[in-house]
Structure 1
Amino acid sequence: MKTKFLYIIPFFWITSLVVGQEKATVVVAANLKSAMDSVAKVYRIQYPKDVIQITYGASGKFYEQISNGAPFDLFFSADMNYPKLLKNNGISVSPIKMYAIGRLAVWSKKIDPTKAKMNSLIDSKIKKIAIANPKTAPYGAKAIESLKHFRLYDKLKPNLVYGENIAQAAQFVAFGAADIGIIALSDALSPAMKKEKGKFYVIPQESHKPLEQGCLILKHGKQNAAAKRFYDYISSEKAIQILTYFGYSQNTK
């Protein structure tokens, strides 16, 4: 049985390389899109000969594809668990690097979540609540943890609508398919979401386990110098500044 691989939102798609260029195929958790687009642009200035082909999607789906032999060089997950599984299965060639810790936010155009905070989700005006699919998206799983922490999950479960990944959950609430959403803080801070003029409340970190995000070079990228450079670059001062701007941190404090 042949496995089909789904490639989502390529950032760069280069069909032929100029002599001297090196290409790395990188798969990245959807919550990182705005931040990683910016990191890639700055990286390109420093390493103009490298072609970094980025695809965004759900970490769980990328894990399945990588496990089935998808030819990716570098994986940026929305958690540490998927990288650990790949490492244990011998599909990686680098240490697992925790490059960022993400945050969740309640976002809406319909009401102002800063007023009632988590209780915004039980407002009478709210009929549909967007979150990422908890089976494949770590941000969705943490959203469920948070709802359970505040004892809201059982009450709100019938109102939940699931995006394939956290970026799609943000699209649902931005374009009216849902009244409110639990999305990545990085999405709430993105230029695209700011244009939608919604408001957001940052969910307390203590309501769920930390959204520690890990990356690693995959077996396919063992000899890929561009993949190694990009893996190293995510720890650079400039990359950390960009991640911080989009609401990420490097510690749980």
Structure 2
Amino acid sequence: MLCKFLVLAAFAASPWAQAAEVQVAVAANFAGPMQRIAEAFAAASGHVVKIASGATGKFYSQIGAGAPFEVLLSADDETPRKLVAEGHAVGGTQFTYAIGKLVLWSPQPGLVDDKGTVLASDRFRHIAIANPRLAPYGVAGYEVLKARGLAQALAPRVVLGETIAQTFQFVATGNAELGFVALSQVMGPGKPVAGSYWIVPPALYREIRQDAVLLKAGQANPAARALLAYLKTDAARQVIESYGYALSGP
């Protein structure tokens, strides 16, 4: 409680107290928790967060072409590094705000077992995966299929989503019976996972380190820096963890 009070006091006593607006590009898997964080951040600081959610790969292209985003919450750690190296982001501002977890999910109870053996069965016609050229969760999904020796066999049944959000919609609407999505999309604070699912063991795919970075367009915006600082607070980290993400160090 004291820690929370000190954080709020710091916001009130700093230049952040002068209300401003920040344009944030958010990886689609993080849209839900980011909405909650933005609301709490606005209440604590007075700043307004404008959120655009989508595929990290598309944001990378848009930022390189001059899109006026000020903060990027990426679905990976490679994209922020590239943006820093290319002069589109501010060096020394990148950090891991969440570690994503991959889940094989179906709204149908009993279809997905807790070992993922359904992947080798004929119990489904289509499996949804995010486009690996745009979405790190799509890369992870294909890594799982390769680890299971099923990538070639399941290729004709794959339905590609442009983003992890579209991939989730394919499964939720029945266009695919199951799919690889982010755990955060099927769970939240006090929300049990509906349907059937397999939380994929981390050993089957590369760790999904989701990094934030200050973009050059936001370098002089105190609201952008304040938001990045807020993401490191206990209040924000509790929200992140409640959506099924793992956290990096303190």
Q: Same fold (TM over 0.5)?
A: yes
Aligned length: 230
What is the one-letter code of the residue matched to 2:97? Y
**TM-score, length-normalised on structure 2?**
0.87
| Comparing 35-44 and 235-244, the one that deviates more | 35-44
Contact 1:24–1:51 (Cα < 8 Å) also in 2: yes
3-state SS, counterpart of residue 26 of structure 2: strand
Distance 1:173 1:94 in 2: 39
Question: Is it true that 1:223 corresponds to 2:220 in the alignment?
Answer: yes
State which of 109, 115, 118 in structure 2 corresponds to 1:117.
115
How far residue 116 of structure 1 moved from its aligned partner, in angstroms, is 5.5
Contact 1:58–1:136 (Cα < 8 Å) also in 2: yes
Question: Is it true that 1:44 corresponds to 2:42 in the alignment?
Answer: yes
How far residue 21 of structure 1 moved from its aligned partner, in angstroms, is 3.0
Partner of 2:87: 90
How far residue 94 of structure 1 moved from its aligned partner, in angstroms, is 4.3
What is the one-letter code of the residue matched to 2:42? R
**TM-score, length-normalised on structure 1?**
0.86
5+ residue gaps, structure 2: 1-17
State which of 195, 213, 220 in structure 2 corresponds to 1:198.
195
What is the one-letter code of the residue matched to 1:240? R
5+ residue gaps, structure 1: 1-19
Alignment of 1:228-243 (within 5 A): 228-243=225-240
State which of 152, 155, 180 in structure 2 corresponds to 1:154.
152
Partner of 1:138: 136
State which of 162, 165, 168 in structure 1 corresponds to 2:166.
168
Distance 1:178 1:194, change over 3 A: farther
Runs of 4+ in 1 over 6 A off after TM superposition: none
Question: Is it true that 1:64 corresponds to 2:61 in the alignment?
Answer: yes
Question: Is it true that 1:212 corresponds to 2:209 in the alignment?
Answer: yes
How far residue 44 of structure 1 moved from its aligned partner, in angstroms, is 1.6
3-state SS, counterpart of residue 72 of structure 1: coil
How far residue 87 of structure 1 moved from its aligned partner, in angstroms, is 0.7
Contact 1:109–1:199 (Cα < 8 Å) also in 2: yes
Contact 1:72–1:221 (Cα < 8 Å) also in 2: yes
Distance 2:112 2:164 in 1: 21
3-state SS, counterpart of residue 75 of structure 1: strand
Contact 1:188–1:200 (Cα < 8 Å) also in 2: no
What is the one-letter code of the residue matched to 1:185? L
Contact 2:114–2:197 (Cα < 8 Å) also in 1: no
Distance 1:46 1:113 in 2: 44
How far residue 190 of structure 1 moved from its aligned partner, in angstroms, is 4.1
Partner of 2:5: none
Partner of 1:53: 50
How far residue 160 of structure 1 moved from its aligned partner, in angstroms, is 0.6
Distance 2:116 2:30 in 1: 24
Partner of 2:75: 78
What is the one-letter code of the residue matched to 2:162? E
